Amino acid sequence: MLSLWITCASCVHKIHVTPLPGEPSSISIPRNLQLIVSPPSLEGADHRPGITLLKWSQADLTQAIFGYLQQRGTFASVSGEPGDFTLRVATTLSLNSRQGLYHYRIVLHGEMSEGEHAVNSYRAEHSVAGSSVRWVTDSDRVPIETALRMALEDLTGKIEEDRRFYLKQTEKSAQ
Protein backbone atom coordinates (compact mmCIF):
# COMPACT_ATOMS: atom_id res chain seq x y z
CA MET A 1 0.00 0.00 0.00
CA LEU A 2 2.83 2.39 0.89
CA SER A 3 4.63 1.72 -2.41
CA LEU A 4 1.40 2.39 -4.33
CA TRP A 5 0.98 5.72 -2.52
CA ILE A 6 4.62 6.69 -3.22
CA THR A 7 4.23 5.77 -6.88
CA CYS A 8 1.03 7.82 -7.23
CA ALA A 9 2.44 10.77 -5.28
CA SER A 10 5.53 10.92 -7.50
CA CYS A 11 3.35 11.04 -10.63
CA VAL A 12 1.55 14.25 -9.66
CA HIS A 13 2.11 16.92 -12.30
CA LYS A 14 2.97 20.13 -10.42
CA ILE A 15 2.14 22.91 -12.81
CA HIS A 16 4.39 25.96 -13.14
CA VAL A 17 3.51 28.35 -15.93
CA THR A 18 5.00 31.62 -17.14
CA PRO A 19 2.68 33.01 -19.82
CA LEU A 20 4.09 36.09 -21.49
CA PRO A 21 2.29 38.51 -23.78
CA GLY A 22 3.23 38.42 -27.45
CA GLU A 23 4.06 42.12 -27.20
CA PRO A 24 3.54 44.99 -24.76
CA SER A 25 0.20 46.76 -24.87
CA SER A 26 -0.10 49.77 -27.16
CA ILE A 27 -2.84 51.08 -24.85
CA SER A 28 -1.95 52.20 -21.36
CA ILE A 29 -4.06 53.12 -18.39
CA PRO A 30 -1.86 55.37 -16.23
CA ARG A 31 -3.24 54.02 -12.97
CA ASN A 32 -2.09 51.56 -10.32
CA LEU A 33 -3.72 48.13 -10.16
CA GLN A 34 -4.04 45.83 -7.17
CA LEU A 35 -4.30 42.20 -8.24
CA ILE A 36 -6.07 39.60 -6.11
CA VAL A 37 -6.08 36.02 -7.43
CA SER A 38 -8.30 33.26 -6.04
CA PRO A 39 -7.07 29.65 -5.87
CA PRO A 40 -7.62 27.86 -9.19
CA SER A 41 -10.61 25.59 -9.47
CA LEU A 42 -9.79 22.29 -11.18
CA GLU A 43 -12.47 20.25 -12.93
CA GLY A 44 -11.88 16.84 -14.45
CA ALA A 45 -13.78 14.85 -17.01
CA ASP A 46 -17.56 15.13 -16.69
CA HIS A 47 -17.09 18.21 -14.43
CA ARG A 48 -16.02 16.17 -11.45
CA PRO A 49 -14.04 18.16 -8.88
CA GLY A 50 -10.29 17.94 -9.25
CA ILE A 51 -8.05 16.66 -12.03
CA THR A 52 -6.32 13.43 -11.12
CA LEU A 53 -2.53 13.72 -10.83
CA LEU A 54 -2.43 17.50 -11.39
CA LYS A 55 -1.57 20.17 -8.83
CA TRP A 56 -1.64 23.90 -9.62
CA SER A 57 -0.95 26.13 -6.66
CA GLN A 58 -2.49 29.52 -6.02
CA ALA A 59 1.02 30.94 -5.61
CA ASP A 60 2.03 29.79 -9.11
CA LEU A 61 -1.19 31.09 -10.70
CA THR A 62 -0.82 34.44 -8.91
CA GLN A 63 2.81 34.74 -10.01
CA ALA A 64 1.86 33.86 -13.60
CA ILE A 65 -0.88 36.50 -13.80
CA PHE A 66 1.29 39.14 -12.08
CA GLY A 67 4.13 38.46 -14.51
CA TYR A 68 1.82 38.61 -17.51
CA LEU A 69 0.20 41.91 -16.44
CA GLN A 70 3.55 43.50 -15.60
CA GLN A 71 5.04 42.49 -18.97
CA ARG A 72 1.94 43.63 -20.86
CA GLY A 73 2.13 47.10 -19.30
CA THR A 74 -1.56 48.00 -19.50
CA PHE A 75 -1.39 49.66 -16.08
CA ALA A 76 1.30 51.97 -14.66
CA SER A 77 1.95 49.36 -11.98
CA VAL A 78 0.57 46.03 -10.80
CA SER A 79 1.02 44.84 -7.23
CA GLY A 80 -0.68 43.18 -4.31
CA GLU A 81 -0.93 46.54 -2.53
CA PRO A 82 -4.00 48.80 -2.75
CA GLY A 83 -4.11 50.86 -5.92
CA ASP A 84 -6.47 53.04 -7.94
CA PHE A 85 -8.32 49.91 -9.05
CA THR A 86 -8.52 46.32 -7.85
CA LEU A 87 -8.80 43.36 -10.21
CA ARG A 88 -10.03 40.14 -8.64
CA VAL A 89 -9.44 37.09 -10.83
CA ALA A 90 -11.01 33.65 -10.42
CA THR A 91 -9.67 30.85 -12.64
CA THR A 92 -11.22 27.54 -13.60
CA LEU A 93 -9.22 24.86 -15.40
CA SER A 94 -11.27 22.06 -16.95
CA LEU A 95 -9.83 18.93 -18.50
CA ASN A 96 -11.70 16.49 -20.68
CA SER A 97 -10.91 13.96 -23.36
CA ARG A 98 -12.41 14.20 -26.85
CA GLN A 99 -11.47 12.51 -30.08
CA GLY A 100 -8.44 10.87 -28.48
CA LEU A 101 -6.89 14.13 -27.15
CA TYR A 102 -7.00 15.90 -23.82
CA HIS A 103 -8.54 19.38 -23.99
CA TYR A 104 -7.64 22.07 -21.46
CA ARG A 105 -10.10 24.94 -20.96
CA ILE A 106 -9.26 28.02 -18.90
CA VAL A 107 -12.04 30.37 -17.82
CA LEU A 108 -11.08 33.67 -16.19
CA HIS A 109 -13.62 35.77 -14.32
CA GLY A 110 -12.30 39.25 -13.60
CA GLU A 111 -14.03 41.84 -11.45
CA MET A 112 -12.65 45.36 -11.52
CA SER A 113 -13.47 47.61 -8.61
CA GLU A 114 -12.62 51.06 -7.36
CA GLY A 115 -12.53 51.09 -3.61
CA GLU A 116 -15.53 49.11 -2.41
CA HIS A 117 -17.51 49.61 -5.63
CA ALA A 118 -17.50 47.06 -8.46
CA VAL A 119 -17.21 48.88 -11.77
CA ASN A 120 -16.85 46.13 -14.42
CA SER A 121 -16.88 42.38 -14.85
CA TYR A 122 -15.05 40.41 -17.50
CA ARG A 123 -15.04 36.82 -18.68
CA ALA A 124 -12.43 35.20 -20.90
CA GLU A 125 -12.32 31.58 -21.99
CA HIS A 126 -9.91 29.60 -24.14
CA SER A 127 -9.39 25.93 -24.88
CA VAL A 128 -6.30 24.18 -26.14
CA ALA A 129 -5.92 20.61 -27.32
CA GLY A 130 -3.10 18.71 -25.69
CA SER A 131 -1.64 15.30 -26.31
CA SER A 132 -3.34 11.93 -26.25
CA VAL A 133 -1.49 10.92 -23.06
CA ARG A 134 -0.52 12.66 -19.81
CA TRP A 135 2.67 10.78 -18.94
CA VAL A 136 4.89 13.74 -18.11
CA THR A 137 4.28 17.14 -16.52
CA ASP A 138 4.94 18.99 -19.79
CA SER A 139 2.00 17.19 -21.38
CA ASP A 140 -0.17 19.23 -18.97
CA ARG A 141 1.97 22.35 -18.50
CA VAL A 142 2.31 23.45 -22.12
CA PRO A 143 -1.41 23.45 -23.02
CA ILE A 144 -2.34 25.01 -19.66
CA GLU A 145 0.18 27.81 -20.16
CA THR A 146 -1.05 28.37 -23.73
CA ALA A 147 -4.72 28.48 -22.71
CA LEU A 148 -3.93 30.82 -19.80
CA ARG A 149 -1.93 33.17 -22.05
CA MET A 150 -4.76 33.31 -24.58
CA ALA A 151 -7.36 33.94 -21.86
CA LEU A 152 -5.19 36.68 -20.34
CA GLU A 153 -4.80 38.31 -23.77
CA ASP A 154 -8.58 38.31 -24.12
CA LEU A 155 -9.12 39.63 -20.57
CA THR A 156 -6.58 42.46 -20.88
CA GLY A 157 -7.86 43.32 -24.34
CA LYS A 158 -11.36 43.82 -22.91
CA ILE A 159 -9.99 45.97 -20.09
CA GLU A 160 -7.99 48.05 -22.57
CA GLU A 161 -11.15 48.60 -24.65
CA ASP A 162 -12.63 50.24 -21.54
CA ARG A 163 -9.64 52.58 -21.06
CA ARG A 164 -11.72 55.77 -21.29
CA PHE A 165 -14.07 54.47 -18.61
CA TYR A 166 -11.18 53.90 -16.18
CA LEU A 167 -9.71 57.33 -16.87
CA LYS A 168 -13.12 58.95 -16.21
CA GLN A 169 -13.60 56.94 -13.02
CA THR A 170 -10.28 58.16 -11.65
CA GLU A 171 -11.05 61.78 -12.63
CA LYS A 172 -14.38 61.55 -10.75
CA SER A 173 -12.61 60.21 -7.66
CA ALA A 174 -10.11 63.08 -7.70
CA GLN A 175 -12.85 65.73 -7.68
Domains with residue ranges and CATH for the chain = 2-174 (3.40.50.10610)
Collect all residues with Cβ–Cβ distance below 8 Å to 119 and sequence separation of at least 6: 85, 112, 113, 165, 169
What pLDDT does 172 receive?
Answer: 61
Low-confidence residues of the chain, pLDDT below 70? 1-10, 45-50, 169-175
Q: Give the angle subtended at the CA of 106 by the CAs of 133 and 36, to the nearest 5°.
A: 130
What pLDDT does 5 receive?
Answer: 40
